[in-house]
Amino acid sequence: MAVPNFGLGTFRLKDDVVKDSVRNALELGYRAIDTAQGYGNEGEIGEVIAQSGVPRSDLYITTKIKPDNYSRDKLVASLRESVEKLGVDQVDLTLIHWPAPNGPVPAEEYLTALADAQQQGLTREIGVSNFTVALLQNAKKILGDTPIATNQVEIHPYLQNRTLADYARAEGLHLTSYMTLAVGKVLDDRVMQAIAQAHGATPAQVALAWALQQGYSVIPSSTKRENLESNLKALDLILSDDDMAQIATLDRGGAERIANPASVAPDWD
């Protein structure tokens, strides 16, 4: 199974808030859920999945290993704990959350440990998040024939990550866009509003459709059922070449980067 093109993000959602969001999303037809060890909500998500009645085979569950668990003696055990919290036999995709280039654990150790976890059946696929071109090239050397299912990175109209996107396209490497709505900034953008108005859509739908049309997966989050439902309509929105060209002019590069924790972020492309 390829990484689904549309899923639910759960970053910053905790306790009853994440339960409500996941419950609403599943009821609306979402079948891919993205979480992470660092989000502190795997247990709550597992609880809702168990109560939902949705067959496990219909779901695609992604989690991410947090940097504290990168060492060989911790990674597999931590993923086993994540799987237990989520109430499943295995997750569909596990990502290295941040490359942590200056951290105590080298990429060779954490990537081979992740591949070991896959061999043990804890995860069906493996991938990375927040990796640059150079880090992806190194990861491919380390993993050899083991496929990288996706690289999950910040991509939105103001940070279009073109160097990485061009490399990924040339290599046939899938990208997942997070923060596709630029934490709501696209909603107030005049260009996005004009395109939305022309299509009878919302700026959020336009941003998501823009990412989808480039072949990226998207994982928008919301605490409101109506927004979760509205976001899904991006799947049916087709933007014109002119629309895409207008959005291309919004790119401001690294100046608009939102997620950039100094201790684990790489030297960005």
Question: What is the chain's pLDDT, residue by residue, as a tens digit (269 residues)?
Answer: 699 999 999 999 999 999 999 999 999 999 999 999 999 999 999 999 999 999 999 999 999 999 999 999 999 999 999 999 999 999 999 999 999 999 999 999 999 999 999 999 999 999 999 999 999 999 999 999 999 999 999 999 999 999 999 999 999 999 999 999 999 999 999 999 999 999 999 999 999 999 999 999 999 999 999 999 999 999 999 999 999 999 999 999 999 999 999 999 999 99
Per the CB < 8 A criterion, the answer to whether 124 and 116 are in contact is: no
Tell me the domains of the chain and their CATH numbers.
Answer: 8-182+216-221+252-256 (3.20.20.100)
Residues with active-site annotation: 39
Given this model, what pLDDT does residue 159 score? 98
Q: Starting at the edge strand that comes first in sequence, how are the strands of the sheet with 123-129 ordered?
A: 8-9, 32-34, 60-65, 91-96, 123-129, 151-154, 175-178, 217-218
